[in-house]
Structure 1
């Protein structure tokens, strides 16, 4: 089912509201009657949504991303506009470097007041892959190594930057770094295998 621009914006608005609900659920409290009312409301909403499920309107991959790399995989759990768990990152390219900027909320928490390491790893995997795409060398992840130097704080502006270091035939080596202001928090090294689309015979 093709999606119109107005429907796309409506879906994005729905995802935004779901994201707010999930974030609020992490510190939710109330009386038994208040919690029961919320549970009942969500159950009714989910019943409505389930009736409209299995009618996926969004594309898996969007080649018309311009310089907004979040558009590449609309439903990515780490960067997609249409996934309520995805961090609200601005992802774009500057020359041969891909940059991701933003912050993480409570739904991404691991240790108290810190981002879960698995979330950081997933973001690196996504952003390093986008770096390959933005430079004309898309590839599948073969290996990913993340070096956690310091805890990554919640609700603080973060800056990821990624660059291709070497291309050896089909092997693409990409490195990334994450800063909070000027403090280096982590680094990553990814090996990607170049994907070449082949025409059907």
Structure 2
């Protein structure tokens, strides 16, 4: 077994295999939206993909069961659609801590295209939601997105490195206010997208209801929670959700 810096164990061989498959799938998605091969080759490729899908589908987990490699408390989600190394949908974005928040660089490809040559605005929202949520967790807080606002200053080009940042600017009770930006890595001080979000820790009874069926990989009930000052009864507030 291997551990994260803070001691969370995982199977390194399985992690390597999941990462390898995720990388291969991202390559497949990229090729599928750029290819100009004839229709016959597309049909043959589709048959091959369906055969692989059947192999992988021979053993699957329930939707309510966390993957064995996941550790939500340490923000390790291997199939997350933004940061997951095993996800065909993820760019993937790799985040790290920086003073006061989090930062990460990513390059978007044609699978994430909106206007020709530029990132889809909805993808910008999903990525910034993830970045701001990561900043919240890195600050020792936890919550679900109650509000997300974006200002699209300029379009985000595909195929060039982009830097994303997020930081908590205010928190109290169950609520955290988080801000962030997306910019070209070559021009990090010229925001293309600016984001603001409110994350709220759901009340205990709502958490119980939302995650009543969630289990860990062994089938044990494992609802997400964060034992921080935001969960202390003295700090409880009637914010939503």
Residue 12 in structure 1 maps to residue 22 in structure 2 = no
Distance verdict in 2 for CA 1:3–1:136, change over 3 Å: closer
- Cα distance, 1:88 vs structure 2: 2.5
SS in 2 for 1:125: helix
Equivalent of 1:144 in 148, 155, 168: 148
- Where structure 1 has 5 or more consecutive residues not aligned to the other structure, the ranges are 65-70
Which shifted more, 185-194 or 33-42?
Answer: 33-42
Map 1:58-77 → 2, pairs under 5 A: 58-64=68-74, 72-77=76-81
List structure 1 runs of 4+ shifted beyond 6 angstroms: none
Alignment of 1:43-58 (within 5 A): 43-54=50-61, 57-58=67-68
Alignment of 1:21-170 (within 5 A): 21-54=28-61, 57-64=67-74, 72-170=76-174
Partner of 1:186 in structure 2? 193
* Pairs aligned (count): 192
2:194 partner SS:
strand
Task: State the Cα RMSD in Å.
Answer: 2.2
Cα distance change of structure 1 residues 197 and 27 upon mapping to structure 2, 3 Å threshold: closer
Contact 1:174/1:190 (<8 A) preserved: yes
1:194 Cα offset (Å):
3.4
Stretches of structure 2 lacking an aligned partner (at least 5 in a row): 1-8, 203-224, 228-241
In proportion to residue count, which structure has more strand? 1
Deviations 1:38-63 (A, max 9, x none): 12211211111111323874344344
1:164 & 1:32 partners in 2: Cα distance?
50
Deviations 1:69-119 (A, max 9, x none): xx5222211111121110122201112221021110111111101010111
**8 Å Cα contact 2:11/2:69 also seen in 1:** no
TM-score, normalised on structure 1?
0.86
Measure the CA separation in 2 of the matches of 1:190 and 1:162. 10
